[in-house]
Amino acid sequence: MSEGNVKPPSNPVVAEAHEVDTFHPPKKMFLKHPSKPHLSGLDEYKELYKESITQPKKFWAKQARELLTWQRDFQTVHSGSFEHGDNAWFLEGQLNASYNCVDRHAIKHPNKAAIIYEADDAADGRTLTYSELLREVCKTAHVLKQMGVKKGDTVAIYLPMIPEAVIAFLACARIGAVHSVVFAGFSSDSLRDRVIDAQSKVVITTDEGKRGGKLIGTKKIVDDALKQCPDVTHCLVYKRTGAEVPWTKGRDWWWHEEVEKWPAYIAPEPMNSEDPLFLLYTSGSTGKPKGVMHSTGGYLVGAACTGKYVFDIHDSDKFFCGGDVGWITGHTYVVYAPLLLGVATVVFEGTPAYPDFSRYWEVIAKHHVTQFYVAPTALRLLKRAGDKYVKHDLKHLRVLGSVGEPIAAEVWKWYFEIVGKGEAHVVDTYWQTETGSNVITPLAGVTPTKPGSASLPFFGIEPAIIDPVSGEEIHGNDVEGVLAFKQPWPSMARTVWGAHKRYLDTYLNVYKGYYFTGDGAGRDHEGYYWIRGRVDDVVNVSGHRLSTAEIEAALIEYHAVAEAAVVGISDELTGQAVNAFVAIKDGNEINDQLRKDLILQVRKSIGPFAAPKAIFVVPDLPKTRSGKIMRRILRKILAGEEDQLGDTSTLSDPSVVDKIIEVVHQSKKK
Number of compact structural domains in the chain: 3
Mean pLDDT score, 585-594: 89
Residue 566: CB partners within 8 Å, gap ≥ 6? 539, 548, 551, 552, 555, 578, 579, 580, 581, 612, 631
Q: Identify whether residues 468 and 361 lie together within a single domain.
A: yes
Mean pLDDT score, 528-554: 75
Q: pLDDT class for 7, splitting at 50, 70, 90?
A: very low
pLDDT at 283: 59
Per residue in 622-640, pLDDT (tens digit) is 998 878 888 889 999 998 8
Q: Identify whether residues 561 and 515 lie together within a single domain.
A: no
For residue 413, give Cα distances in angstroms to 119, 376, 380, 556, 614. 30, 12, 12, 14, 30
| Residue 651 in domain | yes
pLDDT(528) > 90: yes
Q: Identify whether residues 398 and 519 lie together within a single domain.
A: yes
| Residue 116 β-bridge partners | 127, 346
Q: Identify whether residues 131 and 84 lie together within a single domain.
A: no
Q: Identify whether residues 429 and 357 lie together within a single domain.
A: yes
| Residue 234 β-bridge partners | 202
Per residue in 229-285, pLDDT (tens digit) is 999 999 999 999 999 999 999 999 999 999 999 999 999 999 999 999 999 998 554
| CB distance 170 to 98 below 8 Å | yes
State the Cα–Cα distance between residues 200 and 57, nearest whole angstrom: 36
Q: Identify whether residues 545 and 651 lie together within a single domain.
A: yes
pLDDT at 531: 92
CATH number at residue 628: 3.30.300.30
| Residue 14 in domain | no
Q: Identify whether residues 401 and 503 lie together within a single domain.
A: yes
| Residue 525 in domain | yes
pLDDT(418) > 50: yes
Judged by average pLDDT, the poorest of 343-347, 404-408, 486-490, 594-598 is 404-408
Q: Identify whether residues 403 and 485 lie together within a single domain.
A: yes
| Residue 463 in domain | yes
Burial 140-166 (b: 16+ CB within 10 A, else e): bbbbbbebebeeebbbbbbbbbbbbbb
| Residue 114 in domain | no
Strands (DSSP E) contained in 330-406 are: 344-348, 371-374, 399-402
State the Cα–Cα distance between residues 223 and 187, nearest whole angstrom: 11
CATH number at residue 439: 3.40.50.12780
Q: Which of 224, 249, 267 is the last residue of a domain?
A: 267
Q: Which of 267, 299, 321 is the last residue of a domain?
A: 267
| Residue 298 in domain | yes
Per residue in 129-146, pLDDT (tens digit) is 999 999 999 999 999 999
Residue range(s) defining the domain that contains residue 437? 54-96+276-534
Q: Identify whether residues 527 and 632 lie together within a single domain.
A: no
pLDDT at 121: 95
pLDDT at 646: 77
Per residue in 428-447, pLDDT (tens digit) is 999 999 999 999 999 999 99
CB atoms within 10 A of CB 263: 9
| Residue 431 in domain | yes
Q: Identify whether residues 68 and 145 lie together within a single domain.
A: no
pLDDT(6) > 60: no
- Rounded-to-5 percentages of helix, strand, coil across the chain: 35, 25, 45
pLDDT(9) > 60: no
| Residue 374 β-bridge partners | 402
Helix (H) or strand (E) holding 551: helix 548-556
Q: Identify whether residues 527 and 633 lie together within a single domain.
A: no
Q: Identify whether residues 393 and 288 lie together within a single domain.
A: yes
The per-residue pLDDT of the chain, averaged, comes to 92
Per residue in 294-348, pLDDT (tens digit) is 999 999 999 999 999 999 999 999 999 999 999 999 999 999 999 999 999 999 9
CATH number at residue 254: 3.40.50.980
| Residue 473 in domain | yes
| CB distance 129 to 111 below 8 Å | yes
CB atoms within 10 A of CB 275: 19
Q: Which of 233, 267, 301 is the last residue of a domain?
A: 267
